Amino acid sequence: MDKLAMIQRAEELVGTIEDLPTIPVVATQVLLLLDQPEVKVEDVADLMLTDQVMTARVMKMVNSPIFKPGHDITSLRLALVYLGLKHIRELALTTSLINAFDADTGDFQISAFWEHSFGVGMVSKIIAEKIGYPDLEKAYIGGIIHDLGVVFLSQYQREDFQAVLDRIKDKPIKLVDAEAELLGTTHCEIGLCMARKWNFPEVYCELISQHHTPAEATIDPVLCAIVNLSDLFCGVRELNYGGREWVSFNLSDEAAWQILRNEAPNLANLDIERFCYELDDAIPDVKALVRSIFTSHEQAGD
């Protein structure tokens, strides 16, 4: 299907929603502050502390097994020092996104969505490291936000999206193919429209739009390939929305694999089998992280 037509359809759908969640002002301010030279941890901490929900979530996330601190981190300032300023951007953005989308709708379990998203974030970071991609944080954020369009569909197009899920249940049909057929657009274009509305940087807009078609990316095809591959691996290793989509792929046929191998020829020696098994071992950490985020949400009384 024509990409432009699908984007147009997505714009129509996203445009009809008046109460589309917004990204909190604090998050935008934190991102702006971090862009300034010589920013101080104290300033960032002060700004973040004005948003209690964000603070609570950052504290939970930094103490989760995925970040593996040696001891409990008890203050936001310590958390920011421990993580380093680079990570604050990712935390500000992700905690805000979680804030925007934190409720189950119908059969759609939001925690399963976040497990997949954080899983893809984690695996993207690992792959980025393996191929020597210069910005690990970008790969991590990319993984976390790649499927934003899915939440939109599950919340604002519930019945139509359910029909898509029914169509692919236990069948080797790709979610994007069923979406294109039944909705005239996919979560990639929907996500793109949302990202544009929220003024995400272009590189993330492209990532969301092309995470299933990395060969068509022009700004950062390597980033799109990293997230595409992570998405595929998470889809077959229990970070797959509870098996909603029956994913299967021949690794050597994947465009993402070709892109990354061109980028880093040493990838040909990767022990793929062990990579999969180690991914299994990391799943409990990802699930614990998501659980901790939602616990902090309850504690904050939101």
Partner 1 sequence: MSISDSDFIQLRDFIYNICGMYFHTTKKYFLESRLSRRMEITGTKTHLEYYQFLKSPRGSEELKYLMDEITTNETYFFRNVPQLTALETKLLPEIVETKNKMGFRKLRIWSAGSSSGEEAYTMSMMLLEKRSTLLKDWIIEIVGTDINETVISQAKEGIYNAYSVRNIPDLYKRKYIKEENGKFLLSPEVKKFVTFNKLNLYDDSKMIFMKSFDFIFCANVLIYFDTASKSKVVQHFYNNLQPYGYFFVGQSESLHGVNDKFKTVHFPGGFTYKK
Residues in touch with partner 1 (CB under 8 A) = 170-172, 232-233, 235-238, 240, 243, 246-252, 271-274, 276-277, 280-281, 284
CB of 127 to partner 1, least distance (A): 15
Toward partner 1, which CB reaches closer, 52 or 277? 277
**Eight-state DSSP code of residue 70:** S
Nearest by Cα to 211 from 181, 240, 197, 190: 190
- 62 vs 229, which CB is nearer to partner 1? 229
Which residue type, as a one-letter code, is found at position 119?
G
Whichever of 36 and 250 has its CB closer to partner 1, that residue is: 250
For partner 1, the closer of residues 19 and 271 by Cβ is: 271
Give the residue with the Cβ less far from partner 1, 40 or 169.
Answer: 169
Answer whether 180's CB lies under 8 Å from 186's CB.
yes
Block residue for tokens 């970071």: 125
For the chain, what is the radius of gyration of the CA atoms? 19
CB of 213 to partner 1, least distance (A): 19
Least distance from partner 1 to the Cβ atom of residue 276, Å: 7
Give me the least distance between CB of 119 and partner 1, in Å please: 14
Q: State in angstroms the smallest separation of the CB of 244 from partner 1.
A: 11
Return d(Cα 175, Cα 20) in angstroms, integer.
23
Minimum CB distance to partner 1 smaller for 272 or for 288: 272
Residue 140 C-beta-side C-alpha neighbours within 13 Å: 19
In the chain, the amino acid numbered 250 is N
CB of 199 to partner 1, least distance (A): 36
What are 269's two structure tokens?
A: 């020696």
Nearer to partner 1, 218 or 269 (CB): 269
On the 0-12 / 13-18 / 19+ scale of CB atoms within 10 A, 80 is: buried
Q: Are 82 and 62 in contact (CB under 8 A)?
A: yes
Provide, rounded to whole angstroms, the least separation between the CB of residue 129 and partner 1.
Answer: 19
Tell me the sheet residues that pair with 108.
105
Q: Copy the structure tokens of residue 219.
A: 């700004």
Rounded alpha-carbon distances, angstroms, from residue 122 to 2, 55, 87, 98, 207: 32, 22, 13, 16, 16
